[in-house]
């Protein structure tokens, strides 16, 4: 394990350049994101001693090797492309062959848009850890960062809570909270993941309510 920890530490800056295609401006999917996903995964691993830590660690650091924009036509295939690149890179490093299948599956299944069911405890942990990074204070910052990158409005001018219109997070960033993020706790795979998600979701709800009050000039 120590050998691979050291190797992945050495590779992390290179992996981030690959994941962002050299664009250091994508702070939603940078080295800090990879580090946070791994740190969160270690918290989940503490309640699942049966999981393979090396598989989880490799998948955490390699899951965004191919990072396509949210509005890219091939977005749903990004995790599969990342898995292919990860397999090639790890094989070149001499990563244990018997663990590659687990890493590949965990990377493929981490993506929300890919809609791949995680079949192993390692994949479930990686998926939960990545989704937890979309929640809480950091998740909010990432959400608005991505919304800005894609040229989306902060919120609907007169109906920010979508009480009389369909939710549309491709146009209004605030809609993403209701349209996707508040659903994440219900689909977490691990008990610890659900616990952490519920805590972070409350921050989103509090923020949304305060945002809307200020947006309407009521606070």
What are the pLDDT digits (tens) for 84-124? 988 988 888 888 899 999 999 999 999 887 788 999 999 99
Number of structural domains the chain divides into = 2
Of 120, 154, 169, which residue constitutes the final position of a domain?
120
Nearest to 104 by CA among 55, 147, 173, 151: 55
Nearest to 193 by CA among 201, 81, 144, 5: 201
Whether residues 88 and 149 fall in one domain: no
Three-class SS of residue 153? strand
3-state SS of the chain: helix, strand, coil percent to 5? 65, 0, 35
> Model pTM?
0.86
Structure tokens at 201: 């979701």
DSSP state of 164: S
**Residue 163 covered by a domain:** yes
Residue 65: how many CB atoms within 10 A of its CB?
22
We report the CATH number of the domain holding residue 46 as: 1.10.3210.50
**Residue 26 covered by a domain:** yes
Whether residues 13 and 83 fall in one domain: yes
Whether residues 145 and 99 fall in one domain: no
Measured distance CA(2)–CA(155) in Å, rounded: 47
Cα 139 from chain centroid (whole Å) = 9
Of 120, 149, 181, which residue constitutes the final position of a domain?
120
Whether residues 14 and 98 fall in one domain: yes
Whether residues 107 and 153 fall in one domain: no
Structure tokens at 104: 């590949």
**Domain span at 145:** 136-215
In tens digits, what is the pLDDT along the chain, a chain of 219 residues? 556 566 666 665 555 555 444 444 566 677 788 889 999 999 999 999 999 999 999 999 888 887 766 656 566 777 888 889 889 888 888 888 999 999 999 999 998 877 889 999 999 999 999 999 999 999 999 999 999 989 999 999 999 999 999 999 999 999 999 999 999 999 999 999 999 999 999 999 999 999 999 999 986
């Amino acid at each position: 394990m120590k050998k691979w920890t050291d190797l992945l530490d050495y590779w992390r800056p290179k992996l981030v350049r690959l994941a962002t295609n050299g664009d250091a401006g994508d702070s939603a999917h940078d080295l800090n994101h990879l580090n946070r996903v791994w740190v969160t995964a270690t918290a989940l691993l503490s309640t699942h001693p049966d999981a393979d830590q090396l598989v989880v660690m490799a998948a955490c650091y390699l899951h965004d090797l191919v990072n396509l924009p949210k509005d890219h036509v091939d977005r749903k295939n990004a995790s599969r492309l990342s898995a292919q690149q990860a397999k090639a890179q790890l094989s070149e490093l001499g990563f244990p062959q018997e663990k590659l299948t687990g890493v590949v599956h965990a990377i493929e299944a981490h993506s929300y848009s890919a809609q791949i069911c995680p079949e192993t405890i390692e994949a479930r942990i990686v998926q939960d850890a990545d989704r937890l990074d979309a929640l809480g204070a950091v998740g909010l910052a990432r959400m608005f960062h991505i919304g800005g990158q894609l040229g989306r409005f902060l919120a609907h001018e007169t109906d920010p809570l979508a009480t009389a219109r369909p939710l549309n997070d491709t146009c209004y960033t605030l809609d993403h909270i209701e349209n996707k993020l508040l659903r994440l706790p219900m689909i977490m795979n691990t008990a610890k993941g659900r616990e952490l998600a519920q805590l972070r979701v409350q921050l989103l709800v509090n923020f949304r309510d305060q945002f809307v009050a200020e947006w309407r000039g009521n606070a």
